[in-house]
Structure formats: C-alpha cells, structure tokens
Amino acid sequence: AQTVTQSQPEMSVQEAETVTLSCTYDTSESDYYLFWYKQPPSRQMILVIRQEAYKQQNATENRFSVNFQKAAKSFSLKISDSQLGDAAMYFCAYRSYNGNKLVFGAGTILRVKS
C-alpha cells in the first residue's frame, strides 16, 4: 500500500518570503500522480498543484512550484512571495495512475506572519 509522509507538522513564513513544505511517499508503482491540496479554515480542500510521475519537468502554478525527485520519492512544495491568504493546512496526496482514490499525508499547518 502507498503511504505519504509529511514530516513538518507546522511551518511559519514571513509575508513576501519563500517557504518549502516537504513530502515523501512510498510506492512500488512507476506511474502515478502527486498533488498538493490546501485546506483553509473554511474546510474546503482546494487543489494547489499536481505532478504526473512520468513528467520530469517540475510543475508550476504562479507562486507555487514543486521539486519532484522520483528516485528519492520526494515531492516538496515551494511557495514564493508568501501572502496572508496562503495560511492554511497543506496536504500532500498520491494517486495511482489507474487508481480512484487519493492517499493523503497528515498535513502541514502553514502560518504566515505579517
């Protein structure tokens, strides 16, 4: 079974600075998808970014980018120019290429200081 580990329960960043959230996963599969989701206090999970394992190029979405290291099974999220609205719980998630379910990590609380 696949597992996802987020080793940072909580992180803090100063507004306008950059922060990196860590994620590692365990799988024996070669094709899969990885995701970062944001869960603000409103509780609604929002997709931040996704990465296909067969793509070597790291995904980027505006201020959000990932560092995908397939051999190391690492998938970190970098948030540049942090904003107060980025404060939330961030979850890393895995999905098999032909699977139907997401496997989530335990999450990292991100606090943004003004």
In sequence order, the 6+-apart residues with CB closer than 8 A to the CB of 33 are 50, 51, 52, 53, 94, 95, 96, 97
Return the residues of window 51-110 that contact another protein according to CB under 8 A: 91, 93, 98, 100-107
Of the candidate spans 11-19, 38-46, 64-72, 78-86, the one that interacts with another protein by CB under 8 A turns out to be: 38-46
Determine, following the binding rule CB under 8 A, whether residue 4 of this chain makes contact with another protein: yes
Tokens of 9: 């329960």
Given 47, 61, 83, 111, the residue binding another protein (CB under 8 A): 47
With residue 75 as reference, give the H or E element that holds it: strand 74-79
- Tokens for 49, please give them: 């970014």
Selected from 12, 46, 83, 113, the binder of another protein by CB under 8 A is 46
- Report the C-alpha gap between 65 and 56 in whole angstroms: 13
DSSP string, 16-41: TS-EEE--EEE-S-SSEEEEEEEE-T
Size of the site for another protein (CB under 8 A): 18
Q: How far is the CB of 103 from another protein (least distance, A)?
A: 7
Q: Could you tell me the smallest distance in angstroms from the CB atom of residue 67 to another protein? A: 20
Residue ranges that bind another protein, judged by CB under 8 A: 4, 42-47, 91, 93, 98, 100-107
